[in-house]
A and B are shown apart, each in its own frame.
Chain A
Amino acid sequence: MRADAVIEAGLPRLDGSLSEQTFAALVDRLRQRGGESAPDLVPLLSVSHEVFRGRFASSAARMRAYAMAAFHDTGLPDQAVPYVVEVLETSFDPNLVAAAARAVRGMAVPDARLADYLIRSIYNIWQNDQPVSFESYDVSWPLTSFSTALLEVLGTLAWLAASAHHVIPELETLLSTFSKRFNPRVRASIAHCVETLRSSAADFPRTCCCSVPLVESGAVTGEDLDIASIELEDQDGRRFEWRQFFRGKPSALAFFYATCMNPRKCAQTIYNLVNIHNGLLDAGLDGQVRVAAITYDPQRDTPAVLRQYGESKGMRFGADCKMMRAPSQFDGVVDAFDLGVNYIGNQVNDHRVELYLLDCEGKIAHAFLRLQANPEHAIAELARLTSKSRASASGQ
């Protein structure tokens, strides 16, 4: 079905039953409409969107990449920037990284803050650079000429021009120290990028660099999660209700699953949680804050798996530090937190990085989404919640 037919027939059901080709036709149609349709593309970047339900991980990634790449033509709205940054920071999928890099070139004004994320994405994909094409969804292989994820990233760094001047040393390191990790085409592209950044910096010297983060963690005015009676099971097989763990003290709650293959996501999330826990102990908050990680995959992550996984990452299990699963009611947790996760069957097909800080009533007080939380920031917030809790207990 062509894009016109999709639009003329009214909006298709954007769920897992939509064919990839119809999805692509819809994206094509929105892309052709230009800037006015950019906001309509933004919801399609969310991993938890209904349209990605029941898809294989690689298909969902390809579809998201196709939608993200369209911002190159429509312009990149502010609401889409966190998704782009998330991909550059955490993804190892060449299609997604290439799409994110292309999307950056849709910005009205180059933003210096993106240069560092683009550099980091090079290290994520340099061992697995792949051919990419966003001209149409279905491609006839082999391509006679093609771009790659690395070439898209380097092209975008060059596009940032004077705004990316500060990453010239990083690019020079790639050429000097890691030269052998790139083929001649990529090496030439890096050299060209360095040259472009140098000359543009000379022509248009950069005057300032905004220090505000592109993806901010957010304070949340918590509402009751309405999951107080959901049953949880910890790494030792002990069962208890949500309220028994998440009420009475502030807590740090991360989401993860043990078979996640992305080292920038679940494994890093748990290492980060361990750092936060250690920092809380160092800050003398032992016994005043709880630390927990709940799996996205309650079927595979049995108590034994949780224990083994947690121990391998240095979790100091105890009454206030647990890994858990919601054996039969995880859907309720997904809904309550509006978690960024999606599935094919009962298997995770994609997810975002998620760490929440809950107050002593179990309400969400702070959310670190998409990028790993800064442990010091999280510890400071938890200390604040602890003080608030003590103050309210003493009636101040």
Chain B
Amino acid sequence: MTTVSDYKAQLLQRLQKAGDQPDSGAQEMLDLAGSEERITALIKLLSNPATPAADLVNAIGTLAAVSIFSKVLPTQSAELTNALRGLINSPDAEVRRQALSYLTLRGDAVAQQHLRSELQSSKPEADKSVPTSQAIAMLGVDKKAIDKALLLNIAKNPPDDESLVQAVRHLPADKDTAAVLMGILQDDSKPLAARALIPDIVNNVDSSAFTAYAKQKLEQYGAASEIAPFLASGVANIQSDKNQHQVEETKTLIRSLAAEGSDAFQKAVSQLNNPILPDK
């Protein structure tokens, strides 16, 4: 059997070569990352109202890349935050998006509050700093920045399909969300990308309703429907359950459909044989 060790010499040689000859782009970034003057200049660029939008986007992108490894940039965090907060309301959509993205990735309270206010407002989608779907994704980086009530409102009345997907993705699994999520799962008109997330959210919260729906759907359409693999996976991941009989019946049904199912369905069937231990 081939192992990593077989490639060790080759890998070391490639690393050595790479270490000897950093490409010019990488060297440029390394130089920038260590330069107080150049980072200060970039931040000043962000603070200058005359800077063209394209240059602002480039500067934010460069700073975001450098922030991963620069020891100088954290010393300028206050100046950078001040400049970026000033760009949240930029007339250029991409500048706004980049500024909000940078700030929210670092848990900035001002950017979070700005996005939450817009999500709670009745502003038309086109007038928002970023689309609702992006705002949810940005706030979702910090679990304490977005709450269930706000997400439920969006899930019930999404401005577009992508927003529904993001709202569902970030909703917690509990009794308050289960009914809304089950409603979306059962609605064939909703996007599959959103429905597919739901079985593994609701399966251990309202296993009875979920199993009943999964069984009925699989009996009706077999393994052929697009949602079938996700239903099977949801059933396979049900942990300890009061309705064990109903769950076992559904599992039996799923196994019987395995031969006709897609690869994804068969993968879900294989999960039935590797149950997750119950959360005591």
- In whole angstroms, how far apart are the Cα atoms of A302 and B85 in the complex? 39
**Interface 0/1 of B56-100, CB less than 8 Å to A:** 000000000000000110111111011101101000000000000
Query: Cβ of B256 < 8 Å from any Cβ of A?
Result: no
Kindly state the separation between the CA atoms of A303 and B76 in the bound complex, as whole angstroms. 43
A140-163 interface bits toward B, Cβ cutoff 8 Å, 1 = contact, 0 = none:
011100101010000000000000
B77 in contact with A143 (CB, 8 Å): no
Q: In this complex, what residue of B is CB-closest to A141?
A: B85
Least Cβ distance of B62 to chain A in Å?
A: 18
Is the interface on chain A under 10, 10 to 19, 20 to 34, or 35 or more residues?
35 or more
- Chain A residues near B145 (CB-CB < 8 A): 56-58
Chain B interface size, under 10 / 10 to 19 / 20 to 34 / 35 or more = 20 to 34
Report the separation of the CA atoms of residues A129 and B78 in the bound assembly, to the nearest whole angstrom: 5
Complex contacts, A142 vs chain B, CB 8 Å = 47, 82-83, 85-86
Min C-beta distance of B96 to chain A, whole Å: 13
Contact with B along A148-185 (1 / 0, CB 8 A): 10100000000000000000000000000000111110
Does B82 lie within 8 Å of A141, measured CB to CB?
yes
Which residues of A have CB within 8 Å of B71?
180-181
Q: Which residues of B contact A143 (CB under 8 A)?
A: 82
Chain B contacts for A394, CB-based, 8 A: none
The answer to whether B81 touches A131 (Cβ under 8 A) is yes
Interface pair B78/A130, CB less than 8 Å apart: yes
A58 B109 Cβ-Cβ under 8 A: yes
Give a binary string over B139-152; 1 marks a CB under 8 Å from any A CB, 0 the rest: 00001110111000
Partner-contacting stretch, out of B9-17, B110-118, B222-230: B110-118
For A183, give its contact among B75, B82, B116 (CB under 8 Å): B75
A61-B109, A130-B78, A186-B75 as given contacts; A141 in contact with B36, CB under 8 Å = no
Q: Does B249 contact A (CB under 8 A)?
A: no
Q: Which residue of the partner chain, among A62, A181, A237, A346, contacts B74 with CB atoms under 8 Å?
A: A181
Q: Chain A, 328-350, contact with B by CB distance < 8 Å: what is the 0/1 string?
A: 00000000000000001111010
Smallest CB-CB separation from A307: which chain B residue? B280
Tell me whether A345 and B149 are in contact (CB under 8 A). Answer: yes
Q: How far is the CB of A10 from chain B (nearest CB, A)?
A: 28
Residue contact B147 to A183, C-beta cutoff 8 Å: no
Residue ID in chain A nearest B280 by CB atoms:
A237
- In chain B between 108 and 141, which residues have their CB closer than 8 angstroms to a CB of chain A? 109-110, 112-113, 116
Which residues of B lie under 8 Å from residue A62 when comparing CB positions? 109
- Of B107, B147, B174, which is in contact with the most chain A CB atoms at under 10 Å from its CB? B147
Which one, B78, B106, B112, contacts A131 given CB within 8 A?
A: B78
Question: Is B279 interfacial (CB 8 A cutoff)?
Answer: yes
Identify the closest chain A residue to B148 (Cβ): A345
Interchain CA distance A345-B143 in the complex, whole Å? 13
B residues in contact with A141, CB < 8 Å: 82, 85-86, 88, 110
Query: What separation, in Å, do the CA atoms of A148 and B75 have in the docked complex?
Result: 12
* Interface residues as binary, B164-180 with A (CB distance below 8 Å gives 1, 0 otherwise): 00000000001000000
A281 to chain B, nearest CB (A): 27
Q: For A59, what are the chain B residues with a Cβ–Cβ distance below 8 Å?
A: 109, 113
Who on chain B is nearest to A186 by CB? B75
Please tell me if A244 contacts chain B, counting CB pairs below 8 Å.
no
- How far apart sit A344 and B147, CA to CA, in the bound complex (Å)? 8
B contact residues around A181 at 8 Å (CB): 71, 74-75
Contact of A302 with B279 at beta-carbon distance under 8 Å, contacts A57-B144, A349-B144 already known? yes
B residues within 8 A CB of A236? 280
Shortest Cβ gap from A375 to chain B (Å): 30
Task: Evaluate contact between A58 and B112: CB separation under 8 angstroms.
Answer: yes
B143 touches A299 (CB 8 A): no
Output the nearest chain B residue to A93 by Cβ-Cβ distance.
Answer: B109
Which residues of A sit under 8 angstroms from B76, Cβ to Cβ? 183
A124: CB under 8 A from chain B?
no
Assembly CA distance A141 to B86 (angstroms): 5
Alpha-carbon distance between A58 and B116 when the two chains are bound, in angstroms: 12
Q: Note all chain B residues with C-beta closer than 8 A to A131.
A: 78-79, 81-82, 85
Instruction: List chain B residues, Cβ under 8 A from A186.
Output: 75
> In the bound complex, how far is the Cα of B149 from the Cα of A299, in angstroms?
17
Q: Which residues of A contact B113 (CB under 8 A)?
A: 56, 58-59
Q: How far is the CA of A263 from the CA of B14 in the complex (A)?
A: 40
Q: List the A side residues contacting B110 at CB < 8 Å.
A: 141
Q: Which of A95, A180, A302 contacts B75 (CB 8 A)?
A: A180
Contacts A128-B77, A181-B74, A183-B36 given; does A347 touch B144 at CB 8 Å: yes
Q: Is A259 interfacial (CB 8 A cutoff)?
A: yes
How far, in whole Å, are A294 and B144 apart by their CA atoms in the complex? 21
> Is the CB–CB distance between A127 and B74 below 8 Å?
yes
Can you offer 24 A-B residue contacts whose CB atoms are under 8 A?
A56-B113, A56-B116, A56-B147, A57-B144, A58-B112, A58-B113, A127-B74, A128-B106, A131-B79, A131-B82, A131-B85, A141-B82, A141-B86, A141-B88, A142-B82, A146-B82, A180-B71, A183-B76, A303-B280, A344-B144, A344-B147, A345-B148, A347-B143, A347-B144
Known: A141-B86, A302-B279, A345-B149. 7 other contacts (CB 8 A): A56-B112, A58-B113, A59-B113, A130-B81, A131-B85, A142-B47, A302-B280
